[in-house]
Amino acid sequence: MKIAISSSVSNFSQRLYEAWGLREYEPLSGDAYRPVVFFGMYHLIDYTKFFLNRSDKSVLWLGSDIIQLRFPFTLLFKHIRASHYCENKVEQTALKRKGIKAVIRPIFCERPDRYPISYKYSPNAHIYTTMHDNRENEYGLVSIKKLAQIFKTYIFHIYGVKGQNNQNIIFHGNISEKQFDNEIKNYQCALRLNKFDGFADITAKSVLMGQYPITMIKYPHIWKADNLAQVIKFLDKLRKMKEPNYKAAEYYRKNLNAFSWLIHNF
């Protein structure tokens, strides 16, 4: 089994090769007749690689690639045999509308055992999220600023973009993955406000470390908010969570990357 990682998510490449134990798919070197898992389907090159492969194919849909998929390329995935996977019901429904039947499998681009329980209770919780430049509205920056005004003793950490810090909002910009992991292990909650999204790495890391992440999409054993009022409710509840979220951490340690073709036994 080889892996074809879309250039649109090439930043995950090295992490995936190391964590999943799969090598890069090279169709011009004979890999067109090998089984392959496609990580992301974002553009014409990805579609072409899929079409030219003559072996067993698995497609991992990641989120925005579903939105970008248009006719006539939908016919490619409807009529060529392959196994399709996505990370939640929202994505599964969107794929179904395009004629693609997908199985839900939460994906994590790391080895789960790298993130042991580290949750420590704090009445003044540290909340964190990640964003991309020019997509701050999609990631809920306006809502986070409102939350910071309500929870004045909480610290809100925003990674990936720059901005104006204030008393309880800190913009960290882009930092290394190692530094990011080292910082968030001391926090209490990952906040993911995207309404169309895959199973984000920060959600996976947060729950594996025994924290209490909040998302706008339903996942087992994770706080799911339908609106800002419910986010407020969960953040208030966080004050009472004095023990790590062992049940959720154990569930995801067993169920992340539940693919039979992975070399590593997670």
238: domain CATH number is 3.40.50.2000
Same domain, 97 and 116: no
- Which of 104, 121, 141 is the endpoint of a domain? 104
Same domain, 65 and 139: no
Query: What confidence tens digit (pLDDT) does each residue in 40-60 have?
Result: 999 999 999 999 999 999 999
In a domain, 7, yes or no: yes
The two most distant CA atoms of the chain are separated, in Å, by 59
Helix (H/G/I), strand (E/B), else coil: 192: strand
| Domains identified in the chain, total number | 2
Same domain, 99 and 35: yes
In a domain, 258, yes or no: no
pLDDT attached to residue 100: 96
Same domain, 95 and 220: no
pLDDT attached to residue 266: 39
pLDDT attached to residue 263: 55
pTM greater than 0.85: yes
- Give which of 107, 138, 112, 79 is closest to 9, Cα–Cα: 107
Give me the domain span that covers residue 34.
2-104
Query: What confidence tens digit (pLDDT) does each residue in 193-229 have?
Result: 999 999 999 999 999 999 999 999 999 999 999 999 9
In a domain, 265, yes or no: no
Whole-number Å distance between alpha carbons of 234 and 123: 14
In a domain, 261, yes or no: no
CA 240 to mean position of chain CA atoms: 27
In contact, 48 and 14? CB cutoff 8 Å: no
Helix (H/G/I), strand (E/B), else coil: 158: strand
